[in-house]
Structure 1
């Protein structure tokens, strides 16, 4: 399917901060079939005959089970790899192991904010995401500081490549360089420590599974992107909404954990970090779909459109309504974390760390947003937004 420019069509009313950018940039991949209804996405994602299929020429795409991350695997290989790590993302693991890490890291970051009197939301959020994810994965024994910068630079590979021309081969070289740095400075030292003594983290579990250093590196890179970079964007956009909406902010601060989570999930419905994901039909199938999809067909699954599908999310889909899911007796995840066997394993970690950080930020005396974030777009792979340079200020402690 060819990308269609719909910029001349009046946009539907929405409270989304990123909708205007998504409207210009989120497009199905050329020669793919667009699926943009909630029911259509759910049918595809829950059908295991549709396999993962990244954007053409993606730097992360590989069909080799030995070097592919869990993100790219399907079937038995995916179930085996997922089973090895899923216990690190259960509610019990979050409550007993991860929550204290989140609280300590958030306290440290907010204390630093109060001492300076101002700070950038994206830097604060990324620092928290790195602290939490590195503990879960086991990236805690780096030979040199700056792992957050290395992960960030690695994640910018698709954006650099999307500029075209010489940027494409240059991006590949730069990506390989940062992969080597991450391996030598972060992953290899962590593996060495855990070979001597196992810990309660993903790297230790992968060693127990007999995984090679190459396989462990790939998973660390995957978690670096999924657990750090996407979480940063969500924390920033959630904070932005609460800064700009005083009644919503008050409801968030007055609510219990369930109420706060409902607010965050509704924000994420309007602001899914991933705009588009991709699948490939391995056989002709029509299960749950309006018509059969032939084997070999590539599908572009429009996350943002599915999250605004009035038939599934209810009336006024562009309105931020924290009671929406409750009224429909649904959990409120919609398509923000995917669905089916590839449903995001770390979704509760992302929500919990965001709640922990925002609780603390909005308790800071005099906290205010003095500069809204700049919005840019990463066209490759997930077609996601980036929010940078949003500045908050507060009374100095």
Structure 2
């Protein structure tokens, strides 16, 4: 089977479609289900209130000290209430109307600097861009974006872990390192970015998430944790996707020309197909709290309470029974079953589906359209690596050059 997928991790499999790996009585180790079938994965993710978040080290986060648990790791009615209230900041029409102009201005400014310099590292430019866009939505607007970006990146300097183990398989020394590497950046982020933003919003509330959290009675520690969640989630995944999408488009001349000539709907269809093929978050983990039935065609299985479930996003997104022929090719506009998101599971599904999908796709399109209209050349291919915290890929060092330094980005103007 031919493949256009670039982010291929050694050891990843696409079979069996549903797999149960028994713990074999080993203390502290979970029975694990691996779901590579899209149908089975959606059954699990849509089993409302029957599972809890287990990814992103959610089960190791202390629950007793915060009245409001972070939206990424909360579950049940509290999570439903949080999502319902935050939806007004991330709904597609709100994103279009409220944030498009600021995205365009930010993209034009950063690209203007890159063109003047004659080259750029796209992962670095995309980092500044996504942090600035996310900061506007969240309300983290009282500090330097480049410095905040460095602080957010430092959160990911964590030791590896084994999610199937109750202690994550870390040694005491690794836990100590995790605490230091996590708490110090959080402290700096609080003092330099979050505290000034909270003070400003208490004096002058705006239409942003921090103002909403203050109105909801969130404590300062709870607001800090939410800002960490939104800041890192809004930055890391979109940054990697922008770099990956540019890499694909610059190495596929017909697809690049199609993208640049297309209207917004078709451009977004191309980007959705790229992220279907190259999901940034490769695995979604849930802990069963009740029996859950998952099915694949004529077969079905029962996940027992306490079992850990790994929804293998890369495999499910390329499930030929769901996405059709040539699942590892780029086919924008491919026919999908009714109700299947064009990104398939790249933004999750069910109660924990990422609410930021409209924002991520629009901001990616705004930057990529302007960047690619400048006709950059790849001066250096990126390095591909893997992040165990988000179970996804990273790309570093994609260097782009422009034919000659210019003083503006006239070629990329337009909405």
Corresponding residue for residue 262 of structure 1? 269
- Counterparts of 2:295 and 2:95 in 1: how far apart (Å)? 35
- For the residue of structure 2 that corresponds to 1:315, the secondary structure is coil
Question: Which digits, 9 at most, give the CA deviation of each residue in 1:359-394, with x for residues without a partner?
Answer: 111121x511111110011123x3110100110000
Q: Report if aligned partners of 1:67, 1:218 keep a CA contact under 8 Å in 2.
A: no
The alignment's TM-score, normalised by the length of structure 2, stands at 0.86
Corresponding residue for residue 135 of structure 1? 136
2:294 paired with 1:305: no
Question: Which digits, 9 at most, give the CA deviation of each residue in 1:36-77, with x for residues without a partner?
Answer: 11001100111120111136x569734446363101111111
Q: Relative to structure 2, which stretch is displaced further, 283-292 or 258-267?
A: 283-292
- Counterparts of 1:277 and 1:225 in 2: how far apart (Å)? 17
* Structure 1 residue runs without a partner (length 5+): 1-11
Corresponding residue for residue 211 of structure 1? 218
C-alpha deviation, 1:291, in angstroms: 1.4
- Counterparts of 1:281 and 1:156 in 2: how far apart (Å)? 29
Q: Report if aligned partners of 2:135, 2:141 keep a CA contact under 8 Å in 1.
A: yes
C-alpha deviation, 1:173, in angstroms: 0.7
Q: 1:92 to 1:328 in 2, by over 3 A?
A: closer
2:199 paired with 1:192: yes
Number of aligned positions between the proteins? 381
Q: 1:330 to 1:372 in 2, by over 3 A?
A: same
Q: 1:349 to 1:309 in 2, by over 3 A?
A: same
* Structure 2 residue runs without a partner (length 5+): 14-18, 22-28, 163-167, 407-415
Measured on the aligned residues, the alpha-carbon RMSD in Å equals 2.5
Question: Which digits, 9 at most, give the CA deviation of each residue in 1:79-126, with x for residues without a partner?
Answer: 111122111111221122111111000000110110000000101111
- Counterparts of 1:34 and 1:90 in 2: how far apart (Å)? 32
Corresponding residue for residue 371 of structure 1? 380
Q: Report if aligned partners of 2:7, 2:278 keep a CA contact under 8 Å in 1.
A: yes
Corresponding residue for residue 413 of structure 2? none
Corresponding residue for residue 5 of structure 1? none
- Counterparts of 1:164 and 1:63 in 2: how far apart (Å)? 20
Question: Which digits, 9 at most, give the CA deviation of each residue in 1:279-336, with x for residues without a partner?
Answer: 1111123265711111111111101110011111111101110021479785412001
Q: Report if aligned partners of 1:21, 1:377 keep a CA contact under 8 Å in 2.
A: no
The alignment's TM-score, normalised by the length of structure 1, stands at 0.90
Corresponding residue for residue 14 of structure 1? 3
- Counterparts of 1:352 and 1:237 in 2: how far apart (Å)? 16
Q: Which has the higher helix share?
A: 1
- Counterparts of 2:337 and 2:289 in 1: how far apart (Å)? 37
2:394 paired with 1:386: yes
Corresponding residue for residue 34 of structure 1? 34
Q: Report if aligned partners of 1:155, 1:229 keep a CA contact under 8 Å in 2.
A: no
Corresponding residue for residue 368 of structure 2? 358
